[in-house]
A and B are shown apart, each in its own frame.
Chain A
Amino acid sequence: MKDPTNEDKTTNVLIVGVGGQGVIMVSKVLALMCQMNGYQVKQSEVHGMAKRGGSVFSHVRFGKQVWSPTIPAGEADVLLALEWAEGLRWLNFLEPTNGTFITDTQHIVPPFACLNRKRGATKVYSKETPEQIVAEVANSLALDATTMATELGNPRASNTILLGTLSTALDFPVEEWLQVISEFVPPKTIEINHQAFLKGREWSEKTKSQTISEPVVSPDIAACPPTPVNDDFELRLTRAWCKGCDICVKMCPERCLGLDAEQLVELRHPERCTGCRVCEWLCPDFAIDVIKPANEKMSA
Chain B
Amino acid sequence: MNHHVKQSADRAASEGHQRPMTGNEALARGAWEAGVKVGSAYPGTPSTEIMENLSRYPAEDVAAQWATNEKVACDVAIGASFAGVRAMTSMKHVGLNVASDALMSMTYIGVNGGLVLIVCDDPGIHSSQNEQDSRMVAKLAMVPCLEPSDAQEALDFTKLAFDLSEQFDTPVIVRSTTRLSHTRSVVKLGERIEKTSKGFVLNPNKNVMIPSNARVRHPQLIEREEKLTGYFNTSGINRWEKGRKDIGIITLATSYAYVKETLPDASILKLGVSYPLADKLVEEFCKSVDRVFVVEELEPIVENEIKVLGIAVDGKNYFPRVGEFSPEIIRAGLEKAGVLEKRNLAKAHDSLPTPRPPVLCAGCPHTSGYMAIRAMDGRVMGDIGCYTLAAVEPLKSIDTCVSMGSSIGNAIGVAKSGQETKPIIATIGDSTFLHAGIPALIDAVYNNVDITVILLDNHITAMTGGQNHAATGKTLRGDETHRIDFEKMIEAIGVKWVRRTDSYDIATMYQTFREAAEYKGVSVVISDRPCVLDPVKVKGPSLTVISENCVACQSCMNLGCPALSWSDEWYDGHHKVRIDANACIGCTLCAQVCPADSIRPLEAETH
A residues contacting B by CB (< 8 A) are 18-19, 24, 28, 31-32, 35, 40-55, 66-70, 72-74, 85-86, 88-89, 91-92, 96-97, 109-115, 117, 119-121, 123-128, 133, 136-137, 155-156, 183-184, 220, 222, 224-225, 227-228, 250-251, 253-255, 274-278, 281-282, 299
Contact = CB atoms under 8 A, between A and B. Distances in A.
A49 B463 CA distance: 7
Contact of B352 (A28, A44, A124, A137): A124
Contacts of A35: 19-20, 186
B276 to A, nearest CB: 27
A287 B172 CA distance: 71
Nearest to A54: B358
8 contacts: A41-B20, A42-B150, A45-B183, A46-B182, A53-B359, A85-B354, A136-B349, A253-B557
B293 to A, nearest CB: 17
Contact of B356 (A91, A112, A184, A255): A112
B349 A111 contact: no
Contacts of B100: none
Given A46-B126, A111-B565, 12 more contacts: A46-B127, A51-B358, A52-B533, A68-B261, A72-B261, A86-B356, A112-B359, A113-B565, A115-B394, A124-B352, A251-B555, A276-B554
B595 A52 contact: no
Nearest to A74: B345
A109 B150 CA distance: 37
Interface in B326-362: 326-328, 331, 345-346, 348-349, 351-361
A111 B564 contact: yes
B575 interface: yes
Contacts of A125: 354
- State the majority secondary structure of interface residues on A: loop
B68 interface: no
Contact of B354 (A113, A115, A251, A281): A113
Contacts of B394: 111, 115
B570 interface: yes
Given A53-B562, A119-B573, A74 B346 contact: yes
Contacts of A72: 261, 326-328, 331
Given A50-B126, A68-B258, A69-B183, A124 B355 contact: yes
Interface residues of B, number: 75
Given A42-B183, A110-B562, A127-B352, A52 B358 contact: yes
B328 A73 contact: yes
Given A19-B358, A111-B564, A40 B126 contact: no
B595 A24 contact: no
Residue of A41, A112, A274 ringed by the most chain B CB atoms within 10 A: A112
Interface string B4-26: 10010000000000011000000
A126 B510 contact: no
B356 to A, nearest CB: 5
Interface of B: 1, 3-4, 7, 19-20, 45-46, 126-127, 150, 178-179, 182-186, 254, 257-258, 260-261, 264, 326-328, 331, 345-346, 348-349, 351-361, 374-375, 389, 393-394, 463-465, 510, 533, 551-555, 557-558, 560-562, 564-566, 568-570, 572-575, 582, 595
Contacts of B327: 68, 70, 72
A139 to B, nearest CB: 14
B359 A41 contact: no
A18 B254 CA distance: 26
B356 A70 contact: no
A45 to B, nearest CB: 5
Given A40-B185, A48-B126, A70 B565 contact: no
Nearest to B258: A68
Nearest to A84: B354
B4 A120 contact: no
Nearest to B184: A43
A98 B533 CA distance: 40
A274 B345 contact: no
A228 B552 CA distance: 15
B572 A28 contact: no
B127 A251 contact: no
B552 A276 contact: yes
Given A19-B358, A91-B351, A110-B562, A43 B574 contact: no
